[in-house]
C-alpha cells in the first residue's frame, strides 16, 4: 500500500517505523546543481548515503551492484562507465530539445538548447518518466534492483538545476525519497471563477495536504449578494475551517466588482487619455471621490459581515500602468477629483504631461513627470492609511479582530515600479507602527525569469524596513511568464521546489499566486520543500532545530525533550520553534492535538484533577486559530476559564476547534471513558 501511495505522488515523507529515515546523498564529482536539487527535497549530504550520484566521467565504485542490491539508489548522470557496469547498453546519441514527461503530458517542456543525449537500451523493468518528444528516446527512467534502484539520466543536469528534466524530484520520490520534514505555513490566493464546480470539502483536504494554512478568496464576486455564489463561499469557508485552513477576504481595490462598475459610471477612474480605467482584468473606481469611497466602505462592511472570514487582504491598492508614461491608455489616476486637486496644488492639468504639444510633455520635460510621480505616491499612502484604519476597526462574525494583510508589488529590487505604480513600500511599512498587518511582497513580473536567488535579496531589502520577520511574507507568482524562460512557460518541478525551499528559508510565510497554479506532480512535494529546519540522528534519538515550527515524519508515541508528546497525528509529529530531541515511547497519549493553524509556543500532556488527563498549550495568532483534536474533547479551558469554542466534526471522528485571536493558554481534557 505504501508503494502505491508513493507512485501516485501522494506520500510526503517515508514513514518507516517510529523513527524517520533521514535521506542522505553523496555526489561523485563536483556537486554543482545537485546541492540545490536535494536541498529542495529535504535531503542532506552524507558519506554513507542513501543516494549516490555518478556524474559524467566520475569514478564508478567496484561494489556498485552489491550496494544497489543492499538498498542504495544510484543516479547515473550520462555516465557511460556506470551504465556499462549495470548492464545498460549505450548505442550512440540523439539530438534533443523537446521533452515529454509522462506525469504532465499537457505541459510543453523545451530545453534552451538542442543537445546530444545518450541513446541507451534500458532494462525491461525500467519505468520511463520522460522521453524525447520526437524520437521517443528515454531521457529519464528508473528501475528497482534488490532493495535499491537506478535512476537513468540521458544527459547532464544543467547548471541551474532545472532547465532540463523538469520533474526530476518526482523521479527520485518514485523510489520513496523525500525529506522527513514538512511545513504547513504557506498561503495561496483562490479565484472562485476558475474552481466553482469543484467540491469545497475535497479542495480543502487537498490544500491542507499541500501545506496551506490560509486561502485568500476573491471577494469581489461577493460584493453584491448572489445566492449561488454566496452558498458556495459559505460551504468553502466551513470546509476550510474543518480542515485547519483560515480564509481571508481578498480585496483588489480600486476594483470593486463588475456590477459596481456597471452601476456607477460616474465614479469610474480615468486614464491619461481620459478613457474609463478598465486595465487588464481590473475595472478601477475613483477612490478620490468621497461618495464613491463611502459607498465602497458600506459595501465592504456588509461583505465582511455576511461571511465567516478570518481576515482581509488589501491587495494591489495602487495605480497604473506597469509600463509608466509609455502607456498613457493605462496610466491612472486621471479622474476629475485628482485633476482638480493637482491643478490647485501645481497650477496645471496633469494630463498636459501626456500631450505631445504641451511644454510639459514627459518626453521633453522630466520635472513635471517627477512631480506627478511624487503626487501619486502621496495619494497612495493616504489611501492605504485610510483603508487599513477602516478595516482594522471591523470584526469577525464572532467578535474577533480581523487579521489584516497587505499585498504590494516589490519596489525595492525593481525600483522603477515605485514610479510606474505610484507608491513607496518603504513609507507604507511605517503604517505598521499604528496598525498591525502582514506585508506580502509581490514578486514583480519583471523578475519572474530570474532564479530563486532573488528571494534572499528581496528578504534582505525588506528586512531592513521591517525588523519583525513575522510581519513579512513573499508572494511567489507561479504564472505564465512574460519573458522567454526554459524549460516551461510556467514554473514547475525542480524550479518550483527550489523557490519553495529558498522562500521558506527567507520568509516566515510564502504566498502562492494561486492554489491551482502549482503543477499537480509538485503538490505532494511542496510541504517538504517548504520546511526549514536542521535534522540529525544519533542512535534511537532524532534532533530537530527549527525557527518557525515543523512536522517530522513519525509513527507511534514519542517523547520530546524527555516528556510525553501529545502534538502529533498518526504520521507526523509537530514541533514549535526551538531545539528538540525526539525518542520513541510506548504509551499513547489519551488526547492528541493533531494539527494547529497558528503559532504554538509550548505544548504538553497534563494531569487534570485527580484522574483525568489532557493536553495544554500556549499559542499566539493575529487571527483566530484552528486546533484539530484526534477525538471529541472533554472540558475546555481558555486562560483558566471554562469555554465552549465552536466545534466542527470531521469524517474520521476528529474535531476542529475555532479558538480566539491573540495569545492564549488552552487546556483540553480527554473525553471520559
Q: CATH number of the domain that 74 lies in?
A: 3.40.50.880
For residue 298, give the CATH number of its domain.
3.20.20.80
β strands within 29-88, DSSP E: 44-45, 51-54, 73-77
Among 476, 510, 529, the domain-final residue is 529
Segment 596-602 mean pLDDT: 94
Segment 400-428 mean pLDDT: 93
Q: What is the pLDDT of residue 478?
A: 86
Cell digits of residue 43: 535531503
Contacts of residue 313, defined as CB under 8 A and 6 or more positions apart, other chains included, come to 216, 248, 249, 250, 251, 405, 406, 407, 440
Higher pLDDT, 167 or 178: 167
In a domain, 338, yes or no: no
- SS3 call for 626: strand
Q: Is the domain of 398 the same as that of 546?
A: no
pLDDT score of 286 more than 90:
yes
- SS3 call for 432: helix
In a domain, 635, yes or no: yes
Q: Is the domain of 607 the same as that of 582?
A: yes
Q: What is the pLDDT of residue 630?
A: 96
Q: Is the domain of 13 the same as that of 95?
A: yes
**Residue-by-residue DSSP string for 223-276:** SS--HHHHHHHHHHHHHHHHTT-EEEEEE-TTB--HHHHHH-GGGB-B-TTSSB
Q: What is the pLDDT of residue 449?
A: 65
Mean model confidence pLDDT for the chain: 92
Residue located via cell numbers 513609507: 427
In a domain, 352, yes or no: no
Q: What is the pLDDT of residue 660?
A: 94
Report the distance separating Cα 656 and Cα 596, nearest Å: 9
Q: What is the pLDDT of residue 673?
A: 73
Q: Is the domain of 249 the same as that of 153?
A: no
Among 494, 529, 564, the domain-final residue is 529
The answer to whether 536 and 167 are in contact (CB under 8 A) is no
Q: Is the domain of 190 the same as that of 145?
A: no
Q: What is the pLDDT of residue 5?
A: 29
> Is-cis flag, bond preceding 333, omega within 30?
yes
Q: How far is CA 547 from the centre of its chain?
A: 18
Q: Is the domain of 201 the same as that of 157?
A: no
Going by pLDDT thresholds of 50, 70 and 90, the confidence category of residue 19 is low
Q: What is the pLDDT of residue 466?
A: 92
Q: Are strands 625-629 and 593-597 parallel, antiparallel or unpaired?
A: antiparallel
Going by pLDDT thresholds of 50, 70 and 90, the confidence category of residue 609 is confident
Q: Is the domain of 490 the same as that of 546?
A: no
Segment 616-633, tens digit of pLDDT:
999 999 899 999 999 999
Segment 522-546, tens digit of pLDDT:
999 999 999 988 888 888 889 999 9
In a domain, 334, yes or no: no
Q: Is the domain of 539 the same as that of 524?
A: no
Q: What is the pLDDT of residue 254?
A: 98
Q: What is the pLDDT of residue 71?
A: 94
Among 514, 529, 544, the domain-final residue is 529
The answer to whether 435 and 401 are in contact (CB under 8 A) is no
Q: Is the domain of 23 the same as that of 163?
A: yes
Q: Is the domain of 569 the same as that of 630?
A: yes
Report the distance separating Cα 329 and Cα 334, nearest Å: 11
Q: What is the pTM (predicted TM-score) of this model?
A: 0.92
Segment 416-426 mean pLDDT: 94
In a domain, 487, yes or no: yes
Structural domains of the chain, count: 3
pLDDT score of 366 more than 50:
yes
Q: What is the pLDDT of residue 337?
A: 98
Segment 438-459, tens digit of pLDDT:
999 998 777 766 677 889 999 9
**Domain membership of residue 562 as a residue range:** 534-669
Going by pLDDT thresholds of 50, 70 and 90, the confidence category of residue 484 is confident
Q: What is the pLDDT of residue 448?
A: 66
pLDDT score of 146 more than 50:
yes
In the chain, the percentage of residues whose pLDDT exceeds 90 is 80
Contacts of residue 62, defined as CB under 8 A and 6 or more positions apart, other chains included, come to none
Q: Is the domain of 262 the same as that of 287?
A: yes
Q: What is the pLDDT of residue 16?
A: 34
pLDDT score of 9 more than 60:
no
In a domain, 378, yes or no: no
Going by pLDDT thresholds of 50, 70 and 90, the confidence category of residue 45 is confident
In a domain, 366, yes or no: no
Output the CA angle 481-487-492, nearest 5 degrees.
70
Instruction: Tell me the C-alpha to C-alpha distance, in Å, between residue 153 and each of 83, 119, 171, 179, 256.
Output: 10, 10, 10, 22, 51
Q: Is the domain of 205 the same as that of 174?
A: no
Going by pLDDT thresholds of 50, 70 and 90, the confidence category of residue 11 is very low
CA neighbours within 13 Å on the CB side: how many for 643?
18
The alpha carbon dihedral of 44, 47, 48, 53 has a sign of positive
pLDDT score of 144 more than 90:
yes
In a domain, 516, yes or no: yes
Amino acid at each position: 500500500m505504501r508503494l502505491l501511495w508513493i507512485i501516485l505522488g501522494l506520500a510526503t515523507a517515508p514513514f518507516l517505523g517510529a523513527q524517520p529515515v533521514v535521506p542522505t546523498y553523496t555526489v561523485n564529482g563536483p556537486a554543482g546543481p545537485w546541492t540545490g536539487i536535494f536541498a529542495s527535497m529535504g535531503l542532506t549530504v552524507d558519506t554513507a548515503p542513501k543516494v549516490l550520484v555518478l556524474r559524467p566521467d566520475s569514478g564508478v565504485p567496484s561494489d556498485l551492484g552489491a550496494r544497489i542490491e543492499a538498498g542504495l539508489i544510484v543516479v547515473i548522470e550520462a555516465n557511460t562507465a556506470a551504465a556499462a557496469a549495470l548492464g545498460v547498453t549505450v548505442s550512440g546519441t540523439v539530438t534533443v530539445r523537446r521533452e515529454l514527461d509522462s506525469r504532465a503530458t499537457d505541459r510543453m517542456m523545451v530545453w534552451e538548447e538542442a543537445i546530444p543525449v545518450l541513446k541507451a537500451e534500458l532494462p525491461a523493468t525500467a519505468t520511463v518518466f520522460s522521453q524525447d518528444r520526437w524520437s521517443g528516446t528515454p531521457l529519464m527512467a528508473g528501475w528497482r534492483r534488490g532493495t535499491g534502484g537506478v535512476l537513468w539520466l540521458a544527459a547532464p543536469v544543467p547548471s541551474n538545476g532545472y532547465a532540463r528534466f523538469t520533474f526530476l524530484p518526482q523521479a527520485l520520490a518514485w523510489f520513496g525519497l523525500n525529506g522527513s520534514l514538512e511545513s504547513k505555513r504557506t498561503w495561496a490566493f483562490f479565484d472562485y471563477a476558475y474552481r466553482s464546480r469543484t467540491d469545497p470539502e475535497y479542495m480543502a483536504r487537498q490544500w491542507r495536504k499541500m501545506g496551506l494554512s490560509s486561502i485568500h478568496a476573491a471577494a469581489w464576486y461577493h460584493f453584491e449578494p448572489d445566492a449561488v455564489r454566496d452558498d458556495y463561499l459559505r460551504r468553502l469557508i466551513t470546509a476550510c475551517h474543518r480542515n485547519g485552513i483560515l480564509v481571508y477576504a481578498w480585496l483588489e481595490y480600486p476594483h470593486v466588482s463588475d456590477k459596481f462598475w456597471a452601476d456607477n459610471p460616474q465614479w469610474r477612474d480615468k486614464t491619461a487619455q481620459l478613457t474609463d480605467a478598465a486595465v487588464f482584468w481590473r475595472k478601477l473606481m475613483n477612490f478620490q471621490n468621497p461618495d464613491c469611497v463611502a459607498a465602497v466602505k458600506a459595501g465592504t462592511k456588509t461583505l465582511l459581515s455576511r461571511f465567516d472570514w478570518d481576515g482581509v487582504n488589501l491587495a494591489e491598492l495602487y495605480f497604473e500602468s506597469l509600463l509608466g508614461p509609455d502607456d498613457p491608455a493605462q496610466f491612472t489616476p486621471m479622474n476629475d477629483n485628482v485633476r482638480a486637486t493637482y491643478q490647485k496644488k501645481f497650477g496645471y492639468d496633469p494630463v498636459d504631461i501626456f500631450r505631445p504639444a504641451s511644454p510639459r510633455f514627459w518626453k521633453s520635460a522630466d520635472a513635471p513627470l517627477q512631480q506627478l510621480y511624487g503626487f501619486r505616491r502621496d495619494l497612495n499612502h493616504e489611501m492605504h492609511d485610510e483603508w487599513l484604519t477602516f478595516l482594522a476597526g471591523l470584526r469577525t462574525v464572532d467578535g474577533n479582530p480581523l487579521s489584516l494583510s497587505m499585498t504590494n508589488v516589490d519596489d525595492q529590487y525593481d525600483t522603477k515600479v515605485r514610479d510606474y505604480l505610484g507608491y513607496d513600500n518603504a513609507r507604507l511599512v511605517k503604517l505598521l507602527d499604528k496598525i498591525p498587518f502582514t506585508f506580502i511582497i509581490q514578486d514583480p513580473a519583471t523578475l519572474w525569469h530570474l532564479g530563486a536567488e532573488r528571494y534572499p535579496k528581496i528578504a534582505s531589502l525588506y528586512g531592513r524596513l521591517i525588523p519583525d520577520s513575522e510581519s513579512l511574507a513573499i508572494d511567489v507568482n507561479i504564472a505564465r511568464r512574460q519573458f522567454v524562460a526554459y524549460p516551461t512557460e510556467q514554473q514547475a518541478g525542480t524550479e518550483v521546489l527550489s523557490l519553495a525551499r529558498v522562500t521558506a528559508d527567507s520568509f516566515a510565510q510564502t504566498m502562492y499566486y494561486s492554489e491551482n497554479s502549482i503543477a499537480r506532480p509538485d503538490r505532494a512535494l511542496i510541504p517538504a520543500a517548504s520546511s526549514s529546519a536542521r535534522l540529525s540522528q544519533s542512535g534511537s534519538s532524532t534532533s530537530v532545530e527549527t525557527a518557525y515550527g515543523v512536522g517530522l515524519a513519525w509513527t507511534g508515541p514519542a517523547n520530546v525533550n524527555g516528556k510525553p508528546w501529545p502534538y502529533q497525528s498518526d504520521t507526523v509529529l509537530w514541533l514549535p520553534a526551538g531545539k528538540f530531541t525526539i525518542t520513541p515511547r510506548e504509551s499513547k497519549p489519551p488526547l492528541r492535538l493533531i494539527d494547529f493553524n497558528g503559532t504554538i509556543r509550548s505544548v504538553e500532556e497534563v494531569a487534570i484533577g485527580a484522574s483525568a488527563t489532557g493536553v495544554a498549550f500556549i499559542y499566539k495568532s493575529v487571527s483566530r486559530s484552528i486546533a484539530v483534536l484526534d477525538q471529541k474533547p472533554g472540558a475546555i479551558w481558555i486562560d483558566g476559564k471554562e469555554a465552549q469554542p465552536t466545534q466542527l466534526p470531521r469524517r474520521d471522528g476528529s474535531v476542529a476547534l475555532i479558538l480566539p485571536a491573540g495569545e492564549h493558554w488552552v487546556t483540553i481534557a480527554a473525553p471520559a471513558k
